[in-house]
Structure 1
Amino acid sequence: MSVSVTLPALGESVTEGTVTRWLKAEGERVEADEPLLEVSTDKVDTEIPAPASGILASIKVAEDETVEVGAELAIIDDGSGAPAAAPAPAAEAAPAPAAEAPAPQAPQAAPSTEVQEPAPAPTAEAAAGGGSAEGTDVVLPALGESVTEGTVTRWLKSVGETVEADEPLLEVSTDKVDTEIPAPASGVLLEIVVGEDETAEVGAKLAVIGAAGAAPAAAPAQDAPAPAQAAPAPAPAAPAAAPAPAAPAPAPAPVAPAAPAAAPAQAAPAAPSIAPAVVTPVPSTPAPAAAPAEDGAYVTPLVRKLATENGVDLATVKGSGVGGRIRKQDVLAAAEAKKAAAPAPAAAPAAAAAKAPALEASPLRGQTVKMTRMRKVIGDNMMKALHGQAQLTSVVEVDITKLMQLRARAKDAFAAREGVKLSPMPFFVKAAAQALKAHPVINARINEDEGTITYFDSENIGIAVDSEKGLMTPVIKGAGDLNIAGISKKTAELAGAVRAGKITPDDLAGATFTISNTGSRGALFDTVIVPPNQVAILGIGATVKRPAVIETAEGTVIGIRDMTYLSLSYDHRLVDGADAARYLTAVKAILEAGEFEVDLGL
């Protein structure tokens, strides 16, 4: 039997995906739910799991090829005839061995008792996506303002397993974001209503958690492969009656191989002598399946690869993800800690390092690598903006000495009161938003198809954030109505979500104006590119101390001041040079006045 692997729906607005890497090669063995390939969509990379166990017979879509949602990616074949056929007719396969068992295995009534007819029933219902189990419903929660549905990518628990409240239960993928859904209550997973790769609307029932009783239900669904492989075993079992109880056991009771933990527990009270027969075949069949797991925790191939490249032992890494799962950021942090610990014994080079930081050669030197999907999207957007707009840049110099002194006075109390650090960035955002209210031509959009101009009545400011995947611009909605504390909290929240890979589509949409802090990396100023559907972007340069001419009551003097450059790139089709200069002058005046005492509680 063959099972088709198709590209699932990855979000409401996602219609296609690009295969970036196959994790298995043709002819390799794959297990159900094991990561099979990596697919990239706009802004997000995700893994597609195998829908069934078997042999990867054919790969239909090569790496770097783009296909639409629903397109066939590969074919998984049963190979020997059993593994692939099991997942679909699981409900039919279970009763068959039970009916045949009494004839060849008359003396072993205990194994057939262990099968327990009620157990396969919930599994069949779960496989069909239905059922009538009673208990606590697990529903798909609201995952964003514009998200109306989600696709179940992986169940972290099987029917019959015990779950704890708030424990990760399943993974759901929406447009551009993957997330984990926790269990709403403690109990036993009685029923799975929405299977993997199926899409459900927000509020739809995904599963049912209830009291114990259906715990072994998941076992029969995964056991169909075992009877076929164990079928030849009865022949050698006949000559050696003493050591052979293990071989006859799988034939009448296919439950044993797929549920090594639950089966012995049930066998013990029924007939203690059956325990060896159940345990003996377990090591032979499930051993390959146990290998990919690490101490029972799921670790993605990307994390494993990253750990191998950096020489990080995953057993020593503490996961920061939900349920303690190890994320890419955890591995990178462990690698940095390892590097920092290595040169510690050498105290002598410390003085030299203070004068000139040592630069290590990048491993990318001399290599030709594939361009990531994110890099392509950024490139396309930048080229679209440059080709569709008449862009140029104006620059002003700003003395922010008073602002920096004000920040130094307030930062400790501010951090204690608000729970976030007080960086200079919120002051620039506040000044930019205030000036936008007086200069609406900067906070506008050209509607080319209609030949109209929209002047926005709110200041939704995008903040350019540098991340491992590339530049992202989460949006502070209604920035003009926020104080310094509100802007600080929102900036920290959005930047943290970007770097942790938890940013949502809603957070990235709706910007009317953008700010890019290129000075955070030491640049004096930059000619930043105006994003599509906007007419201006503000660039903030590095703040440096240098001598400047100061007008005082006593006369003109020279003093050491905190100086920075502000650059405004704009679309000359709507914004004239005089408009840009007036806006920059307004922002400069707000920053140099430094009248933020009320916001800071001073």
Structure 2
Amino acid sequence: MMRDLTLPTLAESVVEGEILAWLVEEGDIIEEGQPVLEVMTDKVTVELPAPFGGKVIKRMVSVGDIVPVHGVLAQVEEILDGVVASKPETTQLAPSPTPDAPTQESEAEIELDAERSIIEGSAAHQSDPNKAKAAFAGFSRGGKSGAAAVATKPAPAAPQPVAAQPTTKGLSETTPAPGQVRAVPSARRLARELGISIAEVLGSGPNGRVRSGDVHAHASAPASAPVQVQAPAQMQAPLPAKTSSTDWPPPAPPVYRTPAGYENRETRTPLRGVRRATSQGLLAATLHSAQTHTIEELDCTGLMALRDELKADAQKQGVKLSYLPFFLKAASLTLREFPAVNSSLDTASGEVVYKDFVHLGMAVNTEGGLVVPVIRDVDRKGLLTLAREISELAEKARSNTLKPAEMSDATFTVSNIGSVGSMMGVPIVSPPAAGIMSVHSIVKRAVVVEENGADVIAIRPMMYLTLSFDHRLVDGADAARFLKKVLWLLEKPSRLVLGD
């Protein structure tokens, strides 16, 4: 029988993957467990094994395509008892509802889920419209919100005003919640390229979904004859002359255009792989959290002395002892004292989650871009154990062999931007984590210190530490106290051993 090979759920926060390479051709006979294609997500690059054996009849996606989780990758005719079955029946990997047995999740919701992007995230498709309305309270599109922002495709001969429904009844089934626009990814991409706000485009697809043709039609429509949506008589109001500054989402930034005469002096490469995943992830982080930061200055005299003292013992055990294990340990002990910095916001339930564990991400710069492997239970591990895991994960990151589980569940992140010579930087928090700390270059500077009860100017090895945090979860005072405690531990790093 014919079966669909689909993109599995690789991690809780992964909603799509980019096809990097096919490892089989159409017509090939594959075995269960055989790698069939290479996929990159915002977490990691993996080879997907076939969950069953059979003959590859048709590859449904190409290299470079973006496929949602549970999207169909290929059609495979399953082999039963050593014989390729010829029954033309499509079998799902999981039971699917029949027309006579509808489930709570409608066909429109399934289609919408399949087309969502990383930037929208899972919270944008909550089944409860009231949660979505609350999340975007105070924002609207062109003076319209809810069902009033949706219209059907006009007749080709002469577009006619279409009455909008002033109620939000059935919003989760037939209309997008406030702050959402239903559009296929290609339409969103085209709108960005043309400098058009996707919110202004009238969709012709199911439930008002915007397609690429709708974007083209909007771009070519005469400015003097816009298609209008007319509300019922009791709700009619003049359309605004221009987009309000409070509209959501905001208009897209201007599209880059090559200066005339410089066409042959540019090199273009597709936004793909780690760079694309990083781009979307960081944009989503800034859109869906209230980010700010605080900065402190660390005197590294004691830290450098202790590291020099322990380096020889670490080398005897085959471990390279860098400064990073000290920072991870200091952060993990401090997170236990300031649980808000180690918390997350569960947007689905409206609850703040405080964790009794510390899993730290460490940013690693690779040839393909930035990746963040995760070390688990850092607060329960010693410096040499941390140093060993740091080396192992960094090597896996650079060789592109990390597993999804090794890049998931970070409760906080430490970024060592000082390794490339940066004096100071402000990192971006990646929700659902509430904070990230960056460490920078050690630079000798003249500072005022106390010696024998008197203030003197001395040359000391100094470093800036930056804590970026989500202000929805962490108060500024707690963030400042958190960073002060990290400094207190690192300026006398023997305290790390005591765990004070």
TM-score (norm 2): 0.54
Separation in 2 of the partners of 1:61 and 1:535?
36
2:72 alignment counterpart: 71
- 2:385 corresponds, among 463, 486, 495, to 486
The aligned amino acid for 1:518 is: I
- TM superposition shift of 1:367: 2.2
Contact 1:523 1:541 in 2 (8 A): yes
Instruction: Indicate whether 1:453 and 2:352 are aligned.
Output: yes
The aligned amino acid for 1:65 is: D
The aligned amino acid for 2:347 is: E
Q: Percent identity, aligned pairs only?
A: 33
Separation in 2 of the partners of 1:380 and 1:566?
26
- 2:370 corresponds, among 471, 492, 495, to 471
* Secondary structure in 2 matching 1:458: coil
2:289 alignment counterpart: 389
User: Given the superposition, is the C-alpha separation of residues 510 and 558 from structure 1 closer, same or farther in structure 2, using an over 3 Å criterion?
Assistant: same
Contact 2:326 2:490 in 1 (8 A): yes
1:408 alignment counterpart: 308
- TM superposition shift of 1:550: 2.0
* Secondary structure in 1 matching 2:349: coil
Matches within 5 A, 1:458-537: 458-537=357-436
- TM superposition shift of 1:430: 1.2
- TM superposition shift of 1:465: 1.7
Separation in 1 of the partners of 2:497 and 2:61?
60
Separation in 2 of the partners of 1:63 and 1:469?
17
Separation in 2 of the partners of 1:29 and 1:504?
28
- 1:545 corresponds, among 444, 452, 457, to 444
User: Given the superposition, is the C-alpha separation of residues 48 and 469 from structure 1 closer, same or farther in structure 2, using an over 3 Å criterion?
Assistant: farther
* Secondary structure in 1 matching 2:478: helix
Separation in 2 of the partners of 1:493 and 1:540?
21
Instruction: Indicate whether 1:590 and 2:493 are aligned.
Output: no
Separation in 2 of the partners of 1:455 and 1:499?
32
Deviations 1:418-472 (A, max 9, x none): x211111111111111211222221111223333222222222111122233322
The aligned amino acid for 1:540 is: V
Question: Which has the bigger relative contact order, CA under 8 A and spacing at least 6?
Answer: 2
Separation in 1 of the partners of 2:336 and 2:15?
38
Task: Say which is worse superposed, 468-477 or 522-531, in terms of deviation.
Answer: 468-477
Which of 1 and 2 has greater Rg? 1
- TM superposition shift of 1:29: 9.9
TM-score (norm 1): 0.45
* Secondary structure in 1 matching 2:437: strand
* Secondary structure in 2 matching 1:393: strand
Separation in 1 of the partners of 2:39 and 2:426?
34
The aligned amino acid for 2:65 is: E
2:321 alignment counterpart: 422
User: Given the superposition, is the C-alpha separation of residues 12 and 397 from structure 1 closer, same or farther in structure 2, using an over 3 Å criterion?
Assistant: closer
The aligned amino acid for 1:394 is: T
- TM superposition shift of 1:597: 8.7
Separation in 2 of the partners of 1:524 and 1:369?
31
Separation in 1 of the partners of 2:341 and 2:442?
24
Instruction: Indicate whether 1:44 and 2:38 are aligned.
Output: no
Separation in 2 of the partners of 1:63 and 1:425?
38
Separation in 1 of the partners of 2:286 and 2:473?
15
* Secondary structure in 1 matching 2:344: strand
1:346 alignment counterpart: none
Matches within 5 A, 1:246-325: none
- TM superposition shift of 1:370: 1.7
Contact 1:39 1:48 in 2 (8 A): no
User: Given the superposition, is the C-alpha separation of residues 371 and 48 from structure 1 closer, same or farther in structure 2, using an over 3 Å criterion?
Assistant: farther
Separation in 2 of the partners of 1:70 and 1:448?
25
* Secondary structure in 2 matching 1:530: coil
Contact 1:4 1:72 in 2 (8 A): no
Matches within 5 A, 1:114-513: 366-417=266-317, 419-513=318-412
User: Given the superposition, is the C-alpha separation of residues 495 and 37 from structure 1 closer, same or farther in structure 2, using an over 3 Å criterion?
Assistant: closer
Deviations 1:344-389 (A, max 9, x none): xxxxxxxxxxxxxxxxxxxxx8322222243333222212221111
* Secondary structure in 2 matching 1:534: coil
Separation in 2 of the partners of 1:547 and 1:404?
17
Separation in 2 of the partners of 1:410 and 1:402?
12
